[in-house]
Amino acid sequence: MKKLLIVEDDPGIQTQLKWGLSETYEDCEVFLVSNRKEALEVVSREKPEVVTLDLGLPPHEDGATEGLACLKGILDISHDTKVIVVTGNEDRENALYAVGLGAYDFYQKPIEMDVLKIILQRAFRLVEIEREYETLKEHLAEANVFENMVGYCPEMQEVFATVRKVAATDATILICGASGTGKELVASAVHQRSLRRKKPLVVINCGAIPETLLESELFGHERGAFTDAKSRKIGLIEKAQGGTLFLDEIGELTAHLQVKLLRFIQERTIQRLGGMSPIDVDVRLIAATNVDLEAAVNDLQFRKDLFFRISVIQISLPALKDRGDDLSLLARTFLTKFTRENNKKFKGFTSRAVAALRTYDWPGNVRELENKIQRAVIMSDGPLIDVDDLAFSEKQQESFGSELRIRTLKEARAQADIDIIQQALMQHNGNVSKAAEELKISRPTMHELLKKYGLTVSECC
């Protein structure tokens, strides 16, 4: 049911509004109050979508002070509420000021019910549109976020679909992709959606552990198995009992360890170093690589039989540069995450920063993007991330070519205009009147500048 709050101290006008509007809005609950205190109580309790507010609330000697204070209070409680301020003919200046503070519209007395009804209908319709838009954004966000992974490009949607299909099975999976593309996130997603999710997910990077220690880390050892073996050690394969073992960078395994891993996959048993008895192990194996294992097989660097064993299901992750608009989605996701974690107030990126993000090749993929934005949020003050905040090296900036190079004073001034307009709109959540007031320009001038530079309020926010 719709909710309308009428803030009016004149009993006669109250009655006029109540009966005049009740006929049109039979599905609307109407609340009547006569002062700021009562208005804020109703807004806090009922959250009305639309409010009509008389700016001339008592005490009258203060002009519109009380009415403007009521407006600010309402928007502080519920900034989405559409407030229509009602004023006398002589108070147009305060009405315009109220719009600058965030009022939806204004109407001058004497009240003509037919005109006010049209304004109210537009306000309620705008509320419906905004709610539909927010619902759509939520649905899109849900569709584009999958087990801590973000992406709506076809390649990532295919990855999500594959994970959904194979997670509940025990098939061995090989995840292929360059460094930083999110291979461990995919492995985690498979585990979390599997029947083994209540058991451990054990992760080991085969390329990060010295060859001399890796066998002991994987298979464990008995006391006295070698000089430094002072006590028994349970290996990572055994620790994953009942769960999932994720071997990252499996292409780094030596020939000796490839043989031992193949035997484990075939027999589902292991033997600790120095041990005499086989140990049954029930684990699901997920492997990942950033090298071409098929080429390694052809070069006799990786066993063909092991390759076939670990690649029952293959999942390929695209490079960030090939993910299209996912780059913008990820950048905003990371900005929101690190802004919240660091208690900052960043609201977006300058146009130059956006150009840099889109131009750069991202050899480090999603991980590099995440690190750059995290650093920018920590080191900068905001409210917008600029290209300098992203700390691209001189070599990285060379890849931008002439995309970000300001060639003339006119272009530099235009870019400065664009950045400050974006910043003002960001700070005021897209309210053109407030942004124009802060920049000491008129609302029409602001619209002219937006048109001149091809900007829209939604893009700036």
Domain edges within the chain: 2-141, 150-318, 322-460
Between strands 201-205 and 244-248, the pairing is parallel
Indicate if the pLDDT at residue 55 is higher than 60: yes
Question: Is 80 exceeded by the pLDDT of residue 454?
Answer: no
> What is the reported pLDDT for 313?
96
Which residues are paired to 3 by β-bridges? Answer: 29
- The burial class, CB within 10 Å (0-12 / 13-18 / 19+), for 426 is buried
- What's the whole-number average pLDDT of the chain? 86
Reply yes or no on whether the pLDDT at 22 is more than 80.
Answer: no
Q: Sign of the CA dihedral 51, 53, 57, 62? A: positive
Overall size of the chain counted in residues: 461
DSSP-derived letter for residue 439 is: T
Q: What residue spans of 199-324 are helical by DSSP H?
A: 211-219, 236-239, 255-267, 293-298, 304-310
Tokens matching residue 354: 């956006």
Fold of 322-460: Helicase, Ruva Protein; domain 3 (1.10.8)
Q: Which pLDDT belongs to residue 94?
A: 82
* Distance, CA of 144 to chain centre: 10
The highest-confidence range among 101-110, 308-317, 353-362, by mean pLDDT, is: 308-317
Whether residue 402 is predicted with pLDDT greater than 60 in this model: the reply is: no
> Are 417 and 424 within 8 A, CB to CB?
no
Q: Which CATH architecture has domain 2-141?
A: 3-Layer(aba) Sandwich (3.40)
Higher pLDDT residue, 214 or 229?
214
> If you average pLDDT over residues 396-408, what whole number do you get?
63
In the DSSP assignment, the letter for residue 169 is: S
User: 147 by DSSP, 3-state: which?
Assistant: coil
For the residues 408-428, what does the mean pLDDT come to? 75
Coil/strand/helix, residue 315:
strand
Average pLDDT of the segment spanning 383-409: 74
Asked whether the predicted pLDDT for residue 60 surpasses 60, the reply is no
Structure-token pair, residue 455: 């900007």
Cα distance between residue 226 and residue 170, in whole Å: 35
Q: For the segment 3-19, what is each residue's pLDDT rounded down to a tens digit?
A: 999 998 888 888 888 77
Prediction pTM value: 0.63
Percent of the chain at pLDDT > 70 equals: 91
Average pLDDT over residues 356-363: 91
Backbone angles phi, psi at 447, to 5 degrees: -65, -35
Give CATH superfamily name and number for 150-318: P-loop containing nucleotide triphosphate hydrolases (3.40.50.300)
- Common-topology check for domains 2-141 and 150-318: yes
Q: What pLDDT is stored for residue 155 in this prediction?
A: 94
Which is more confidently placed, 429 or 72?
72
DSSP H or E segment with residue 82: strand 82-87
Q: Read off the pLDDT of residues 171-215 as tens digits, 9 standing for 90 and up.
A: 999 999 999 999 999 999 999 999 999 999 999 999 899 888 899
Query: Which of 61-70, 87-96, 205-214, 437-446 is the most confident on average?
Result: 205-214
- pLDDT score, position 409: 63
Q: First-to-last CA distance in the chain?
A: 31
Who wins on pLDDT, 336 or 195? Answer: 195
> Which amino acid, one-letter code, is at 62?
D
* 260 CB-near residues (< 8 Å, 6+ apart): 215, 218, 219
Identify the band that residue 24 occupies on the pLDDT scale cut at 50, 70 and 90.
low
Q: Closest Cα to residue 219, out of 199, 240, 201?
A: 240
- The candidate with the shortest Cα–Cα distance to 272, out of 242, 309, 231, is 231
pLDDT of 435 > 80? The answer is yes
pLDDT tens per residue, range 130-174: 787 666 656 655 567 788 898 889 999 999 999 999 999 999 999
